[in-house]
Structures are given as structure tokens and as C-alpha cells.
Amino acid sequence: MSSLIPLKRKSMDDSQACPLLSPHVSNSDPPSRTQSPVGRRVTEDGSIHSIICNNPRRRLYVKPIAWTSEHLQFLGCSFNLQRAPRTKGPIKTPDQVGSRSQRSQHAKRIKLQLGLPSTLTVKKFAAQEILEAYDLRPQGQERLWFQFNHQHVANLPTDGIFASKDTPSILAFVTFETIQSLRQRHVRPSKSATVCLLNMKRKKLKLLEPLNPAEDPYLVAMLIALAQDQRRQQQQKVQDTSTTTDVTSLKKSQQHCECMDQMVPCFAKSFKKVKILAITGVLAKYLYVYTATIPTAFLDKFDEPLRYSPSDPITVTYCRISVIEETSLERLHSLLCTGSCSFCGGD
């Protein structure tokens, strides 16, 4: 389920349509359940590849922007709306600590812009200022790479990607209008489209739109891509460390990774915690915060789509916070903070 377009025998080269298919495989040969065209390796039952091949009529092989609730069911992913934690009062930001107090007050002023009619550019600026106040820094890019079969097969546009000082790619910011626009562009017809084709595209768009925009499957794809990016960067860090560290000492550090998250991670047993901050575009009445803890065994499903990789179901919890609420930023902080920001006594 990656860069995922429906399996077709005509109109395009299958080697381009499906990264699971080798250029050397005949278009007339359907994928085998037991023997895969990818290096002629065996497809294990329960793997992503077997799910796609066993459900040819469900159109599972589509781009992430075209994911539906069916994709989440097959992947074992679900949404769970929760109440945002209540705060007893403002965050502990003593007035004598100048920089902290100034950033907190600045974030509160900026927050008011979210509730006013404004452009996407203004919303992105306001969100960035608020997140920076809590030590979440923009990474200078707005696209996530979705990885499948150890290949970058799709880019997922966002409205900003942020990192904490300890964790890369921990949060993405997006507006629901951005997701809607991406989906419309995905199904849009050519300029010379007929009325019949336009009607077909409208029906297709309606089928792809989730019943609840706050539980859009594209958000799950973003969270998976964030977790994949975290793992790639951490793996690169381990590789860089191994070039300057004795092999024996590296093995010792890996043995302690279960208890020391800041050290070299044990990828087989580690988890990636990722978040999304989402708002409506023109007039933002609410802040939506999504959180998912994704085990690396789940990410292995996409890296090795022919292999069955058992993992627990993924529950994406999300909270809705009113923008005009007096303690909205305090509640937002309690959901986004990694525990090491300056407002938690990190400085």
C-alpha cells in the first residue's frame, strides 16, 4: 500500500505502476500468492503484498492520499477521540525567566490569529510561532517521504515538519483544507474532460472523502511516514557512530537501549512516537492533536512487504482543543511536549 495505484494490465507499464513488480515479469502473469515477482521470493501469508493480491477488487494499491477506511482496517489502524487534559493553570513560566515568559506571551498573541479569517500562509506562520515557543523547530521542509520495499515511492505534502532537540521529525503540521486540496488534485480530470468524465471524478472524490474529516486516513499515512523518517535518521546516526566507535562498545550500548532511549536505539524493539497538529484552514476554531506510538515491527511491514511482520494494532489518539479557550495553549503544551522543553525545566 504505497505509491499505490490500482493494478492494471493496460494503459501503463506495470513495472512503473507497481514497485512490487519486476520489469522482467510479463504483464499477463498475475502476482502469485506463494511466489512473488520481486526476486522470485516467497510471499508470506499476512504480509502487505499478500493482502493486496488476495483482495484484487478492493483497490488497495493506491497512493496514500487515496487511502480509505478499508486501508486502515487491513493495517490494523484506528482513531480514538479523547478529551484533552485539563490544566490547573498556566504553565510554570516564572516572570523572572525573561525568554520563557516572552515566548509564552508571544504565543498567546499569535494564537488569536488562528481564530480569524486569514490565508494559509498566515496560519502556517502562527502555528510555527506557537510550536517554536515550545522548542519544536521547523526542519525546513514540508514533504514526507513514504517508504515501501526500501524505496521512496510517494511524497506526502504537509504544511510543515518539526523536530525537538532530542527527536527528529516528531511532528507534522497540516490543515484539513490542504488534505482536501491534495485529494481534489489526485482525482482531477484533464482540461479537455467531458461532462461525463467530470461527473465520474466527482463521484470518485466523494467516495474517497472520509465521513469524519478529523479521522482522515491520510493523517495515518503521515504518521507512518514520520515514524519511517525517524528510524532512517536514527539508523544513519548509528552508522555514523559505528565508524568512530569500537564494535564491542557499540554492542554494549545496544544492550542498554531498552532502558535508555537517548542512546543508540534497538530497532527491533523500539517504538517511534509521532504527532500531528492539524487545524481548519480559513477559520480555525479548534486545534487537533494526533499522537501515535508506532513499533518498528509495524514499519517492517512496509520495508519488507513480502514478509509477515506481526505487530499490535495502531491506535491514533487525538484531542480537540478550542482556540478561544483561555488555557488552550497550556493544554496544547501538555499534548505536544516531549518532556524536555524549556517550560518543563529543561533549561
Same domain, 35 and 81: no
Note down the domain range covering 312.
77-238+265-344
- Could you give the number of structural domains in the chain? 2
pLDDT per residue as tens digits for the range 46-63: 999 999 999 988 888 889
Nearest to 49 by CA among 25, 77, 24, 30: 30
Same domain, 122 and 51: no
Residue 10 lies in a domain: yes
> And the C-alpha cell for 124?
502556517
Beta bridge partners of 137: 163
Residue 260 lies in a domain: no
Residue 253 lies in a domain: no
Residue 69 lies in a domain: no
Same domain, 85 and 151: yes
> CA–CA separation, 10 vs 13, rounded Å?
7
Nearest to 3 by CA among 16, 299, 177: 16
Same domain, 162 and 301: yes
Same domain, 58 and 87: no
Same domain, 49 and 100: no
Residue 150 lies in a domain: yes
pLDDT per residue as tens digits for the range 272-286: 899 999 998 777 889
pLDDT per residue as tens digits for the range 105-152: 777 778 877 878 888 888 888 888 888 888 888 988 899 999 999 999
Alpha carbon of residue 183 to chain centroid: 16
Same domain, 168 and 290: yes
Same domain, 125 and 49: no
pLDDT per residue as tens digits for the range 201-237: 888 888 899 999 999 999 999 999 999 999 988 887 7
Same domain, 107 and 20: no
Same domain, 220 and 121: yes
pLDDT value for 94:
43
